Amino acid sequence: MAKLLDKQRYKCALGAMQTVQAIERALPILHSGPGCAQKLSESVGSSGYFSPNIFPCTSINEKDVVFGGVKKLDSTIENALKVIDADLYVVLTGCIPEIVGDDSGEVVSRYEDAEKPVIYAPTAGFKGNNYKGHEQVIDAIIDQYLSKSDKKQKGLVNIWADVPYQDLFWLGNLRELEKLVSELGLIPNTIFGFKRGIENIRKIPEAEFNLLVSPWVGLGNVKKMERKFGTPYLHYPTLPIGAAETSKFLREVGKFAGVAEEKVEEVIKKHEDYYYYLIERYADLFLENRVINKQFTVVADAQYTLSITKFLANDLGLIPAKQFIVDDTPASYRDKIKEEFKNLNYGVEAEVSFDTDGYKIHEEIKNHDYHGYPLVLGGYYEKEVTENLKGNFLNIAYPVQDKVVFDDSYVGYTGGIRLIEDIYTVAVSRFN
Amino acid sequence: MSYKIAIGSSDGINVDLKFGETKEFLIYEVDENAKFLEKRAVYGELPENTLSFTEGICSTGDKDCTSSCISEGSGCGDGNGCSGPKDAVVKISVISDCRCVVCKKIGFQAQKQFEKKAISVFDVECSISEALEKITYYYGKIDRHETFRKEK
């Protein structure tokens, strides 16, 4: 029987147009039906340079299914190069051209000598979701745009995290990771957001190592870069939120990069002192509200389910009920991610399930005894079910409907404090 | 089940006529293979029952306007190219039993009229044999509920 996808939490691989959108002055050229892009773009911010409404698209129809759409693709690329001033053109294919067998790669290869780089990522929806599509775009950049560099820049670190726009906090998160890494005396290099763009893409092969902060998204990319550029990588599966995880993160990155231990500890101490100063000031708030939420559940992609579970258990001392990962994590990564959930402080272990069926998840939440009101952090879909249980709800993962995020972040020491603020804002407002 | 395909061609070999300039459609019938059936001439007169059909096309909906739209020689064309909805309606009625129409170019207005009758429009420049091969392959797959997925 076909797998059920109730309450969709991700998009098709063509959603990777948002990954392209996150690269400044990069332009997706869509080889897809009219409407694909319209459905995939949301009001979660444009690139700051292009609006999704101007993305060139072949708008293929029945005629192109019968006679092939390569001619249209060719003229669309040709004219996009003429009329739109971008630094990087990324051709993305939807389902239809791939099903009928258009050789889009061949068309794109005709533009090898174009003034601006034109690359191609196959992102047909049947190949996977936009997490997978994101990897395809990064792969395309590595394979088709970059080449091995003899020059290595001392201390340069490429930072990779989860999917832009899918993760509403992507910009703030990346900036905070950059900040943490640079405090260790390293030079961070990211390609997404303001003033990063093509210059930073070119620097990728010169990095000393790749730092991947994600449970599974991007692992294929950093492995590819290891093979192609000889760049080693550090895979840190947990997005560091709060003091416990961030200090661990800094120690591990410092060790991998060969940063002096005293230097790392100095950075950690400075941050932890302030962090625990804030925590102590509000100790009474925590004590009072501890009574409200004994147990919590996170319903999000692997990144947030893992990192928030660790944060709430390790930093706030809450007890995890069952956790849900809803990003359709490929089976090969699942066991490793499950192991991470057993790796909590105080000998606490969390049960986790990989599920895309929102109905089943909600049934489990309803039927679980939270020993009081539940605390649920998840997508907007969880709002109603949590309210029915008189629980506290915070919308932290896709789809986000009751929050506007410009460059807010949950990463690091500051991010931990932000998340505590948000959770307790919800908790205290129930008495108003 | 068999179906018919209308093609705009001057020489019976290539699809080389625009929809507007086609005076005679080549009709092919497809059962298992595509076979040439007949030529169908387009006469310059409206069949009676299409009058109400044309009314909807006129943008103003005004009675006078409707009549002027369908009177000979009015509109924007010389009777060869785009000459308002009249030509399109006549031609569509001539080939309304076909499943699709294949011409070198088919204008936006005409495409919309075909859409209303659920007739597919293919504006392509190629040989008739290529067009027939691709279209019959496509409809064959659809009718047999088969996937178009090609293994690379």
| Closest C-alpha among A15, A118, A31 to residue A76 | A31
Does the beta-carbon distance from B121 to A67 stay under 8 Å? Answer: no
Domain extent listing, chain A:
13-145, 156-260, 270-429
Specify the fold of A156-260: Rossmann fold (3.40.50)
Interface of B with A (CB under 8 A): 120-124, 126, 131, 134-135, 137-138, 147-150, 152
- Share the mean pLDDT of chain B: 78
Does the beta-carbon distance from A66 to B121 stay under 8 Å? Answer: no
* Confidence (pLDDT) at B151: 58
What is the nearest CA distance from A292 to chain B, expressed in angstroms?
55
Measured over the CA atoms of residue B6, residue B11, residue B17 and residue B20, the dihedral's sign is: negative
C-alpha A331: how far from chain center:
19
Chain A residues within an 8 Å CB radius of B102: none
What is the nearest CA distance from B71 to chain A, expressed in angstroms?
33
pLDDT tens track for A375-423: 999 999 999 999 999 999 999 999 999 889 999 999 999 999 999 999 9
* Confidence (pLDDT) at A82: 96
Does the beta-carbon distance from B152 to A100 stay under 8 Å? Answer: no
In a domain, residue B101? The reply is yes
Q: What is the CATH number of the domain that holds B104?
A: 3.30.420.130
pLDDT tens track for A322-359: 999 999 999 999 999 999 999 999 899 999 999 989 99
Number of domains composing chain B: 1
Overall average pLDDT of the A237-265 stretch: 97
What is the nearest CA distance from B146 to chain A, expressed in angstroms?
12
Answer yes or no: is pLDDT of A364 > 60: yes
What is the nearest CA distance from A14 to chain B, expressed in angstroms?
18
* Confidence (pLDDT) at A39: 85
CA–CA separation, A237 and A304 (whole Å): 11
* Confidence (pLDDT) at A290: 62
| Closest C-alpha among A406, A429, A319 to residue A45 | A406
Answer yes or no: is pLDDT of B69 > 60: no
Facing A67 at nearest CB: one of B122, B147, B150: B122
CA–CA separation, A77 and A70 (whole Å): 11
Does the beta-carbon distance from B149 to A65 stay under 8 Å? Answer: no
Q: Report the residue of B111, B120, B125, B151 to disrupt the A interface, i.e. the one with the largest count of A CBs within 10 Å.
A: B120
Chain B residues within an 8 Å CB radius of A65: 138, 148
* Confidence (pLDDT) at B67: 39
Question: Which contacts (CB < 8 Å, 24+ apart) does range A228-231 have?
Answer: A228/A142, A228/A143, A228/A146, A228/A148, A229/A146, A229/A148, A229/A149, A229/A204, A229/A205, A230/A148, A231/A158, A231/A205, A231/A207
What is the nearest CA distance from A67 to chain B, expressed in angstroms?
7
Answer yes or no: is pLDDT of B70 > 90: no
Facing B148 at nearest CB: one of A63, A67, A99: A99
In a domain, residue B148? The reply is no
* Confidence (pLDDT) at A93: 96
* Confidence (pLDDT) at A41: 82
Facing B122 at nearest CB: one of A63, A100, A101: A63
In a domain, residue B149? The reply is no
Tell me the Cα Rg of chain A: 22
In a domain, residue B107? The reply is yes
Does the beta-carbon distance from B138 to A101 stay under 8 Å? Answer: no
Facing B135 at nearest CB: one of A66, A99, A101: A66
CA–CA separation, A225 and B94 (whole Å): 62
Overall average pLDDT of the A39-58 stretch: 84
Q: How would residue B89 be classed by pLDDT, with cut points 50, 70 and 90?
A: confident
DSSP letters, A50-83, are --GGG--B----HHHHHH-SHHHHHHHHHHHHHH
> A99 and chain B: CB distance < 8 Å anywhere?
yes
Residue B9 or A4, more confident: B9
In a domain, residue B84? The reply is yes
pLDDT tens track for A109-134: 999 999 999 999 999 988 899 999 99
Does the beta-carbon distance from A66 to B126 stay under 8 Å? Answer: no
Facing B138 at nearest CB: one of A65, A99, A101: A65
Range name among A94-108, B36-50, B113-127 with the lowest pLDDT average: B36-50
In a domain, residue B35? The reply is yes
Residue B151 or A320, more confident: A320
What is the nearest CA distance from A101 to chain B, expressed in angstroms?
6
Chain B residues within an 8 Å CB radius of A124: none
- Share the mean pLDDT of chain A: 93
Answer yes or no: is pLDDT of B49 > 80: no
> A106 and chain B: CB distance < 8 Å anywhere?
no
Backbone angles phi, psi at A21, to 5 degrees: -60, -30
CA–CA separation, B139 and B136 (whole Å): 5
Range name among A67-76, A183-192, B66-75 with the lowest pLDDT average: B66-75
Q: Which of residues 41-80 of A touch B (CB under 8 A)?
A: 62-63, 65-67
Task: Report the CATH number of the A270-429 domain.
Answer: 3.40.50.1980
Judge whether A13-145 and A156-260 match in fold: yes
Domain with B84 in it = 3-143
Answer yes or no: is pLDDT of B65 > 80: no
Overall average pLDDT of the B118-139 stretch: 95
pLDDT tens track for A267-289: 999 999 999 999 999 988 887 76
CA–CA separation, A418 and A423 (whole Å): 9
Torsion on CA atoms A184, A188, A192, A198, rounded to nearest 10: 170
* Confidence (pLDDT) at A286: 81
Minimal-distance CA residue of chain A relative to B131? A67
Angle between helices A242-257 and A412-429 (to 10 degrees): 170
* Confidence (pLDDT) at A100: 87
* Confidence (pLDDT) at A138: 98
Residue A398 and residue A40 in contact, taking contact as beta carbons nearer than 8 Å: no
Which residues, including other chains, have CB under 8 Å from residue A158's CB and lie 6 or more apart? A189, A190, A203, A204, A207, A209, A210, A211, A225, A231
Overall average pLDDT of the A2-22 stretch: 87
Residue B126 or B57, more confident: B126
Q: How would residue B87 be classed by pLDDT, with cut points 50, 70 and 90?
A: low
Does the beta-carbon distance from B150 to A100 stay under 8 Å? Answer: yes
* Confidence (pLDDT) at A293: 72
In a domain, residue B152? The reply is no
CATH class of A13-145: alpha beta
Chain B residues within an 8 Å CB radius of A127: none
In a domain, residue B118? The reply is yes
Count Cβ atoms below 10 Å from residue A290 Cβ, excluding itself.
13
Q: How would residue B62 be classed by pLDDT, with cut points 50, 70 and 90?
A: very low
